Amino acid sequence: MADEFITIGSGGSMSASINPLGAELWSLTDAEGRELMTDADPRWWTGHAPLLFPFVGRSRGDAYRLDGRDYPMPQHGFARRRVFEAVEQSGDAVTFRLEADEETRAVYPFDFRLDMRFAVEGRTLRMTALVSNRGGEDMPCSFGYHPAFAWPLPYGGAVEEHRVIFEKDEPAPIRKVGHEPGLIALESVQSPVEGAVLAPIHAMFEGDALIWDRLESRSLFWGVPGRTGLKIDFPDTPWLGLWQKPGAHYLCVEPWAGMADPVGFEGDVWAKQGILRLAPGEERAFRMDVSLTG
């Protein structure tokens, strides 16, 4: 059945369960069965790890303009609301596929294919999205990940002891959501990162996500220093969002190739920040690895 989860694993070291609806990672557990992702408490947010395609973030007015015509587009695109087909499967890997159909062409008139592969290798989950343009004209798109990891992780240490430790120092100012809901403020703000270390607190997210659009790192650690945690690698995505509903039991670590519209944006889709132009027959891969450390 399309609504049956598919679980993959690596000889007991790590196990992942994926929902074909949205090809969404719902569970990631270690060898002892400890959950590394959100508890999806409905008081906060019932999402787990939606895939953001064909656009990341919100389009102003929940619509985008192409060739003088406006098309409706929900926040983060439509892929997370579509059922993917499992086209390849083994005990430790599965590939899901979403292709253009009449419904998608009504809001996004392009012949795309989105393959989403999950593979567990030892204590690492490797996720690779492959976006393909199967049509005859240039295709605008972006892509992002949105996984919600447990906060606190199940390895001891208080909520307040958890850290995001970037692979490099991150002194550049960051962006935040502006006065138009879901859209990016035009001005930057001082980064809360000290050197390479962010000490997150719930209050940081009262104004929505923290957004790095001048990111040096392509890897980070999430957890309590000195304890088992998560090493998260995202080599193909230049931007990063961190988000939670304040007080919830998760932190979303969101590598993006694309971003929401800025406040007041009125341009064509090709002027959207972070839009990729895929030529006919071209494809682009976006990888995200999640590994247990220690």
The CATH number of the domain where 226 resides is what? 2.70.98.10
Read off the pLDDT band of 11 (50, 70, 90): confident
What integer best gives the mean pLDDT of the chain? 97
For residue 70, count other CB atoms closer than 10 A to its CB: 11
> Is 1 contained in some domain?
no
> Is 280 contained in some domain?
yes
CB 129 within 8 A of CB 116: yes
How far is 97 from 191, CA to CA, in rounded Å? 38
How far is 13 from 15, CA to CA, in rounded Å? 7
> Is 210 contained in some domain?
yes
Q: How far is CA 287 from CA 51, 120, 179, 213, 237, in A?
A: 12, 13, 32, 18, 8
| CB hemisphere CA count around 32 (13 angstroms) | 5
- Look at residue 1 in the predicted model and tell me its pLDDT: 37
Domain limits for position 132? 6-292
Residue whose C-alpha is closest to residue 55's, from 40, 68, 65, 44: 65
- Look at residue 5 in the predicted model and tell me its pLDDT: 96
Q: Which residues of 233-244 are buried (b: 16+ CB within 10 A; e: fewer)?
A: bbebbbbbbbbb
Q: Is the pLDDT at 277 greater than 60, yes or no? A: yes
Query: HEC states along the chain?
Result: CCCCCEEEECCCCEEEEEECECCEEEEEEECCCCECECCCCCCCCCCCCCCEECCCCCCHHHEEEECCEEEECCCCECHHHCECEEEEECCCEEEEEEECCHHHHCCCCCCEEEEEEEEEECCEEEEEEEEEECCCCCEEECEECCCEEECCCCCCCCHHHCEEEECCCCCCCEEEECCCCCCECCCCECCCCECCEECCCHHHHCCCCEEECCCCCCEEEEECCCCCCEEEECCCCCEEEEECCCCCCEEEEEEEECCCCECCCCCCHHHCCCCEEECCCCEEEEEEEEEECC
* Number of separate domains in the chain: 1
Query: Model confidence over 153-181: pLDDT tens digits?
Result: 999 999 999 999 999 999 999 999 999 99
> Is 29 contained in some domain?
yes
> Is 40 contained in some domain?
yes
Query: Model confidence over 83-133: pLDDT tens digits?
Result: 999 999 999 999 999 999 999 999 999 999 999 999 999 999 999 999 999
> Is 105 contained in some domain?
yes
Query: Model confidence over 210-230: pLDDT tens digits?
Result: 999 999 999 999 999 999 999
- Look at residue 6 in the predicted model and tell me its pLDDT: 98
- Look at residue 294 in the predicted model and tell me its pLDDT: 85
> Is 63 contained in some domain?
yes
To 5 degrees, how large is the angle CA 140–CA 183–CA 237?
50
- Look at residue 2 in the predicted model and tell me its pLDDT: 46
How far is 35 from 45, CA to CA, in rounded Å? 17
> Is 250 contained in some domain?
yes
